[in-house]
Amino acid sequence: MKLILGMGITGLSVARFFTNNNEIFRIADSRKEPSLLKTFQKEHLLDNCYMGEWSKSILEDIDEVIISPGIAQSENIVQWIREKKIKLLSDIELFGRHSNAPIIGITGSNGKSTVTQLLGEMAIASRLNAVICGNIGSPVMESISDTADLYIVELSSYQLDYTSELDLFAGVITNISPDHLDRYPNYEAYIASKLSIYPYCENVIINLDEPLQSDMAGDSYFAIEKNNSNCSFLARKAGSSYEVFYKDKCLVSSNELLVVGKHNIENLLAALTLGYQFGLPIDEMIKVAKNFKGLPHRLEFITSINQVDFYNDSKSTNAVSTITAVNSLLEKYSQVVLILGGIAKQENYSELIELINAKVQTVVLIGESSKVFSEQLSVPTLKIARSMNEAVSLSKSLAKGGAIVLSPACASFDMFDDFNDRGDQFKHHVIEGS
């Protein structure tokens, strides 16, 4: 019998798949009332169900366990499964067994969602039935289609941790920086988790700008400002902009793109390299890139009010991504107001603090990290807001042209449901108060 661990979105997708394929299963969750319980009940998915504190009895008569990525490896149930030598797998591995089209896998600390979406739109524009799924949106088990030509899947480190068999046409790691260290014993373990994607890949795509990958052997490479003959696609600085090349041919300038920042040039290079490896036409990919607006909550342009541009970067939940956002805006604006804060992660914020102190004029702090950050920041203007409404109002009153950006570098759960809620509230108050 199969066991599904976790009654979240992943568990629900697996339960539906098993039910539709007449697979007998048990489902379990350590919570007595999981948030999706009513959905499971309505769809009659709880014939063999266990809720509450983990018990070894859950594993009786089980030969395979499909585990939700939110369940940490340190939990007792995972240890018991491994002691009993029961097969443990992710929904990604299960998906790989049943998919009927090539799969491209994309992971990384930052940028993976953008690359996944951009590549998906490039494939669709190239008249392929491309399915965009995984960590970015639809669970993979609900994305299986008999008519799919290609699956483009965003993979998290948590999903990779529970994967041991997977066939990918190609895969890329966008970058690696400290993140999710509450789930890993050390940074080295997190790095190993990300790098574990490559053994599954028929075509390994390497970002030569990522120090942890620069010495690795791959099948195709991309880079910015590196004179490497192995690179199919590369970018070079041209004044205040970047030019993207295929070999020696200039394809597009960053001035022609709707997205901003060096990191988005890196994202474009990753998508182009993956797409070219699969056979997508370069001209079609560039056409899509020029019209690509980016993803919600990822340095998303909102509006311009009184000669001030507003950006929503709520998805930046760690220091590195906020550093990227601030640097990207400073390439375009001389004045930036930064809304920062939330639940600080277990990471080193010193580089971010140093950047803000050196180059940002005004900071508005929100959330439980406000006191800690206020003691480290020495910007000309520093304010603390008790709500998003107050943060937006303060920012508007303090801005003197340039840009206002919500880029918190922290988790959102002290004040909001999640980063989507945080970003939506920011957008609401920006537009409603205009």
More confident residue, 333 or 126: 126
Residue 411 CA to residue 395 CA, distance in Å, equals 21
Q: What band does 264 get if pLDDT is binned at 50, 70 and 90?
A: very high
Q: Is 319 in a helix, a strand, or coil?
A: helix
Q: Is 190 in a helix, a strand, or coil?
A: helix
Structure tokens at 316: 């930046």
Residue 244 CA to residue 269 CA, distance in Å, equals 8
Residue count of the chain, please give it. Answer: 434
Q: Work out the percent of the chain whose per-residue pLDDT is above 90.
A: 85
Q: What structural domains and CATH numbers belong to the chain?
A: 2-89 (3.40.50.720), 93-291 (3.40.1190.10), 300-432 (3.90.190.20)
Q: Is 428 a catalytic residue?
A: no
Q: Of these residues, 180, 226, 287, 359, which one is catalytic?
A: 180
Query: Mean of the pLDDT values across residues 99-120?
Result: 95
Spatial CA neighbour of 271 closest among 288, 253, 291, 247: 288
Q: Of these residues, 112, 194, 263, 383, which one is catalytic?
A: 112
Q: Work out the percent of the chain whose per-residue pLDDT is above 70.
A: 99
Query: Mean of the pLDDT values across residues 180-208?
Result: 91
Q: Is the pLDDT of residue 380 over 80?
A: yes
The mean-pLDDT minimum among 138-142, 328-332, 408-412 falls in 328-332
Q: Of these residues, 135, 207, 264, 267, which one is catalytic?
A: 135
pTM of structure: 0.83
The answer to whether the CB of 383 falls within 8 A of the CB of 363 is: yes
Q: Which pLDDT belongs to residue 183? A: 82
Q: Which pLDDT belongs to residue 214? A: 84
Q: Which pLDDT belongs to residue 50? A: 96
Tokens 């010193």, located at residue: 350
> To the nearest whole number, what is the mean pLDDT of the chain?
94
Q: What is the pLDDT of residues 244-259, one digit of tens each?
A: 999 889 999 998 998 8
Q: Which pLDDT belongs to residue 434? A: 62
Residue 180 CA to residue 178 CA, distance in Å, equals 7
Q: Is the pLDDT of residue 327 over 70?
A: yes
Spatial CA neighbour of 364 closest among 377, 355, 352: 377
Query: Mean of the pLDDT values across residues 122-148?
Result: 95
Cα 409 off chain centre by: 14
Residue 81 CA to residue 68 CA, distance in Å, equals 14
Q: Is 112 a catalytic residue?
A: yes
Query: Mean of the pLDDT values across residues 419-432?
Result: 96
Q: What band does 227 get if pLDDT is binned at 50, 70 and 90?
A: low
Q: What band does 40 get if pLDDT is binned at 50, 70 and 90?
A: very high
Q: Is the pLDDT of residue 182 over 80?
A: no
Q: Which pLDDT belongs to residue 178? A: 78
Query: Mean of the pLDDT values across residues 322-351?
Result: 94
Q: Is the pLDDT of residue 195 over 80?
A: yes
User: Crossing angle of helices 9-20/91-98, nearest 10°?
Assistant: 30
Residue 198 CA to residue 347 CA, distance in Å, equals 26
